[in-house]
Structure 1
Amino acid sequence: MKLRSTYTKIFLSFLVVLFITEILVFFLFILIPARHFAVRFEEFFRSKVQSVKGIAEDKILSSPGAGLSENTRLKEFIADFGTVSGAQVWLTGPDGRPALKSFSGEPPDLSGASGKDRPRRNRFFRFFALKDYDVHTVIPLTPAGKFAGDLHVLFRRPASSPPTGLFALGLVMIGTVVALAAIPVSRLITRRIRQLRVSAALIAEGDLSHRVVVRGRDEIGDLSRTFNDMADKVEGMIKGGKELTANISHELRAPLTRIRIAEELLHEKTAGGVTNAEDMATHLDGIREDVDELDGLIGRILDLSKLNMGQSPLRPEPLDPSDLIGELMERFHPVIERKGLRVAADLPRGGSCLADKETLRLALKNVLDNATKFCPEGGDISVHVAWEPDAAGIRIMNTSEELSREDLSRIFDPFYRSQRSAAAGSGLGLTIARKAVERLGGAIEAANRERGLEITITLPRQ
């Protein structure tokens, strides 16, 4: 079964990590004290066994003629040592049979355990760590350099075992408390994610003004800020699309209205029997001009749409903008001559920048078209190309009245036309130029100069 709730996934992941952590803590609690006990116990015996060995050997030497079982002093020492140490102590002779012991009954049979558990050898004793924390130590007695027997010391596991059960219960209780505390933490994390989901649903339903309340500077806070940035861009794109549609409708309606009026006039004159050829030619010429205007407007709209959608792949190649500007100036020569414009061109040859030829041509054509269209009759146009180590700068200036700050800030917006301009235009030329230049990785800006309006295009050379 798949988990769909982020809250459930976070909570279960936390429980798994907590469970693994508690298991590791439990085993560390079991292993570390046991190892510590064994090490400390062995250190204790290293310091004490030599003295016990020396005392026992002195007791044997004090009664040289007596056997081990008949040595009263040795017997009392073994009994006292067993009482003080709380261990079972017995002495075996050279034949391995018990001679003395500190307890009643037979000595425990540890042959199987001693043979199974590997002893830790020392120059004074042999140390056996048996099961259940039992420890069996064998101390060889060698008074005067002669082996007399083995002194056995057996420490039994204490009746009270380490509190592993209580510790495990404590871990379970701590884990339960931590797990319960994790519930509000998990809900706090998922609450902000749910708010993002609700905001996305509201925007999807059409509430483009809705934004997420940003809380914190963590990853979810960054996601909320990114979400709001995306919502701002989406709202701007949709509003821009609506404005574009309204502007296109307005621009198409004007020539269509003129065509309709011309058609009605022709129809009335034809129906009334008036067939003045000159009058009809005038109306037909007007229709033709309006059709050309519609065709040009639709062409610009298509160019803008292609640039926005990036449909045409770029084919970068080394280009000299001076060559393209020269070609375009030839196309605009009839307009320049008809309006009596003075053109000053500074087009140094030999430089090149890596760009798509058609996209760059589209940008330059629209800027030059804007300059020739809005330059008054008898005005000046200057075109200047400058080369920098890593960029090419193109400046196109035309005679113009000084534009306001609002005009300069909106001059590249679609369908925007300055109120001071008397020339007709679609308001798309500089918009297309900006899109084309930005697609080439360059920048375009407009500024007032002493002699008019200057458009500056900066293109990277590589």
Structure 2
Amino acid sequence: MAIRDLLRGRLALRIYLVGLAQIAVIVAGFIAVMEMNRRTGVNPGKQQLRFITSVIARSLDDPRALDGALAIVREDLNATISVIDPDGAFLATNAPGGRPRCDTTAPAFPPDPEAPRCYTAPLRFPDGRQGRVEAIPPPMPPPFSGLRVIAFVLVVVGVSSWLLGRTLTRPLRQLSSAARAFGGGDLKARAALRNRDELGDVSRAFDEMAERVAELLRAERELLANVSHELRTPLSRIRVALALISEAEGDVAVARELLADIGGDLDELERLISDVLTAARLDLEDAASPGGIPPLRRERVDVLDLLARAASRFRAAHPRRALRVDVPEELPPVDADPVLLRRVVDNLLENAHKYTERSAEAIELVARGGEEVAIDVIDRGVGIAAADLPRVFRPFFRADRSRTRATGGLGLGLALAKRIVDAHGGRIELASAPNEGTRARVRLPIARDP
């Protein structure tokens, strides 16, 4: 399992490989130094020993010449040479103090690992008898010392760690710079790292978050403009209507007609304020709820009665729009918040009316039961482009950005509907095509008996 996690973590794999490379370099360095030490303390070769023996053989008759030859060997090769006569006695040596460091006549058993090894070669004396030459190679230098080992390891680890650190700190510095710039108000700041490891994943997540935040801020700015427009228009109409009533001079018919217009404008204002307050309530309850789902005031809801009331309200608000209701006589109940669920149906019907330009086109309200309750609102209006479908449930997004009275609004209706349906454990789906209409379907789980 640990190996699998390591392979999945590309950054962890890189650090692991750097660790392996450090170990490999250290081992290779140790081997190289040991080889150099071995070659530095090389023993006299056979040919070299034969040459030394021939030089000594020519000097046996002259003790001064023999001592000079041994001194030269000592100086040039740092080797200890001893000449043993045929009787086994020391004839001459260049050992310090005149005594060799090893005695081949009495080898230790078991051998002493710290005692120097002796190499011998036969030596023929002038009288024809045979002695020998004993050669002790120079002492092997210690392959390593503690300080050298520590220095070597520190250099290898330091260089590799510095190189690894550069590969990590550069993208981190770029990411932190982008975060500071974005936090300072530069909404265009992006990290834009091309790394294929976890740092690249963090960079892409940051860029996606920054894009969503920037889009949300743009939408909120648009919300302020839309709210001011949506409030100003009905208030202006109310002001004009009141002025006309004051000028009607007792004309009851005119006053009654204008009061009806005022009532419609007040309903529009109430609906606008209700959408904004509902969105604020859901935001606050989302933040307060540990699971991120707003608490609902659930009760057993009769879906048939809820749809009948929604149809009645819609017909009263839009008497010129035909509404076809296709609902069976029996529908299973649902456990829901009736106020919020009514808001979903009202918003879907209102959207269908708003985006159906031809007043002769009817809107359909269809419901079916079964394992779940499905509620469809169908229109034959302007429809939604395929590119806008994934975004229609975002707050403040409107496929039609115009601010005409026919398609006015804040872009909160579908966003609120989705959040309410999600909180009930249901789903909301849209199927639409430009100039062909839209089908909005809400699926809700039926109430289960306790």
TM interval, short-chain normalised: 0.5 to 0.7
> After superposition, where does 1:151-190 map in structure 2 within 5 Å?
160=139, 163-166=142-145, 168-169=147-148, 171-173=150-152, 175-190=154-169
Residue in structure 1 matched with residue 442 of structure 2 by the alignment: 457
Per-residue deviation, 1:194: 1.0
Distance of 1:279 and 1:163 partners within structure 2 = 116
User: Residue 314 of structure 1 aligns with which residue?
Assistant: 295
Closer, same or farther: CA 325–87 of 1 in aligned 2, 3 Å? farther
Q: Distance in 1 between matches of 2:363 and 2:296?
A: 35
* Mapped pair 1:251 → 2:230: yes
Deviation at 1:439, TM superposition (A): 3.9
Deviations 1:30-61 (A, max 9, x none): xxxxxxxxxxxxxxxxxxxxxxxxxxxxxxxx
**RMSD (Å), alpha carbons:** 5.1
What is the Cα deviation at residue 329 of structure 1? 1.7
The alpha carbon displacement at 1:187 in A equals: 2.9
3-state secondary structure, aligned to 1:395? strand
SS state at 1:216 partner: coil
Residue identity opposite 1:305 in structure 2: A
Give, in whole Å, the separation in 2 of the partners of 1:133 and 1:316: 91
Instruction: Report the counterpart of residue 123 of structure 2 in structure 1.
Output: none
Q: Say yes or no: does 1:202 pair with 2:181.
A: yes
1:229 paired residue among 205, 208, 214: 208
Q: Distance in 1 between matches of 2:436 and 2:197?
A: 53
The corresponding residue for 1:240 is 219
- Structure-1 separation of matches of 2:306 and 2:212: 39
Query: Deviation per CA, 1:320-340, whole angstroms, max 9, x where unpaired?
Result: 7xx224323234326437447
**Would you say how many aligned residue pairs link Structure 1 and Structure 2?**
332
Q: 1:213 aligns with which of 192, 198, 204?
A: 192
Write out per-residue CA displacement over residues 253-273 of structure 1, whole angstroms, 9 at most, x where no aligned residue.
111222333455567x49xxx
Q: Does 1:403 align with 2:383?
A: yes
CA contact (8 A) 1:437 1:443 kept: yes
Residue of 278, 299, 314 corresponding to 1:303:
278
Q: Equivalent residue of 1:387, what SS?
A: coil
Taking the aligned partners of 1:334 and 1:180, their CA distance within structure 2 comes to 77
Once the two structures are superposed, residues 114-171 of structure 1 have per-residue CA deviations (whole angstroms, 9 ceiling, x without a partner) of xxxxxxxxxxx99799xx958xxxxxxxxxxxxxxxxxxxxxxx99466154475255
Alpha-carbon contact 1:392-1:459 (below 8 Å) kept:
yes
Evaluate the alpha carbon distance shift between residue 425 and residue 359 of structure 1 in structure 2; reply closer, same or farther with a 3 A threshold. same
Q: Name whichever of 254-263 and 209-218 sits farther off.
A: 254-263
Structure 2 length normalisation: TM-score? 0.56
Structure 1, unpaired ranges of 5+: 1-12, 30-75, 80-85, 90-100, 104-124, 135-157
Say if 2:418 is the partner of 1:437. no
Contact 2:182-2:189 at 8 Å conserved across structures: yes
Matches of 1:325 and 1:177, distance apart in 2: 78
User: How much has 1:205 moved relative to structure 2?
Assistant: 2.1
Deviation at 1:405, TM superposition (A): 2.5
What do residues 394-420 of structure 1 show as CA deviations (whole Å, max 9, x unaligned)? Answer: 32224x34536379737656474768x
Q: Structure 2: which amino acid aligns with 1:385?
A: R
Q: Please name the residue that 1:361 is paired with.
A: 342
CA distance in 1, matches of 2:344, 2:195: 45
- Aligned counterparts of 1:246 and 1:357: Cα–Cα separation in 2: 32
TM-score (norm 1): 0.55
Shift of 1:383: 0.7
Q: 1:433 to 1:325 in 2, by over 3 A?
A: farther
> In 1, are the aligned partners of 2:388 and 2:399 still within 8 Å (CA)?
no
8 Å Cα contact 2:294-2:423 kept in structure 1: no
Give the superposition deviation at 1:196: 0.9
Take 2:23 and 2:355, find their aligned partners in 1: how far apart are those partners? Answer: 77
The answer to whether residue 362 in structure 2 is matched with residue 379 in structure 1 is: yes
Deviations 1:209-244, CA, capped at 9 Å, x for gaps: 221121221121111111111111111111111111
* Alignment-derived partner of residue 120 in structure 2: none
Amino acid of the residue matched to residue 167 of structure 2?
L
SS in 1 for 2:178: helix
Please give the alpha-carbon distance, in whole angstroms, between the structure 2 residues aligned to 1:263 and 1:445.
Answer: 42
Cα pair distance change 1:212/1:203, threshold 3 Å: same
Shift of the 310–377 alpha-carbon distance from structure 1 to 2, 3 Å rule, reads farther
Q: What is the alpha-carbon distance in structure 1 between the residues aligned to residue 326 and residue 165 of structure 2?
A: 69
Residue pair 1:371, 1:381 contacting (<8 A) in 2 also = no
Deviation at 1:298, TM superposition (A): 0.7
Aligned residue among 409, 425, 430 for 1:426: 409
Q: Deviations over 1:43-85 (max 9, x none)?
A: xxxxxxxxxxxxxxxxxxxxxxxxxxxxxxxxx99x9xxxxxx
State the identity %.
27
Q: Which amino acid aligns with 2:367?
A: H
Task: Decide whether the 8 Å contact of 1:342 with 1:378 is kept in 2.
Answer: no
Whether the aligned pair in 1 keeps the contact of 2:385 and 2:432 (CA below 8 Å) is no
Q: Do 2:298 and 2:335's aligned partners in 1 also have CA atoms closer than 8 Å?
A: yes
- Rounded Cα–Cα distance in structure 2 between residues aligned with 1:218 and 1:241: 35
* Larger of the two Rg values belongs to structure: 1
How far 1:193 moved relative to its partner? 0.9
In structure 2, stretches of 5+ residues that fail to align are 1-14, 32-86, 91-100, 116-136, 287-292
* SS of aligned partner of 1:446: strand
Higher normalized helix content (fraction of residues): 1
TM-aligned CA deviation for residue 184 of structure 1: 4.2
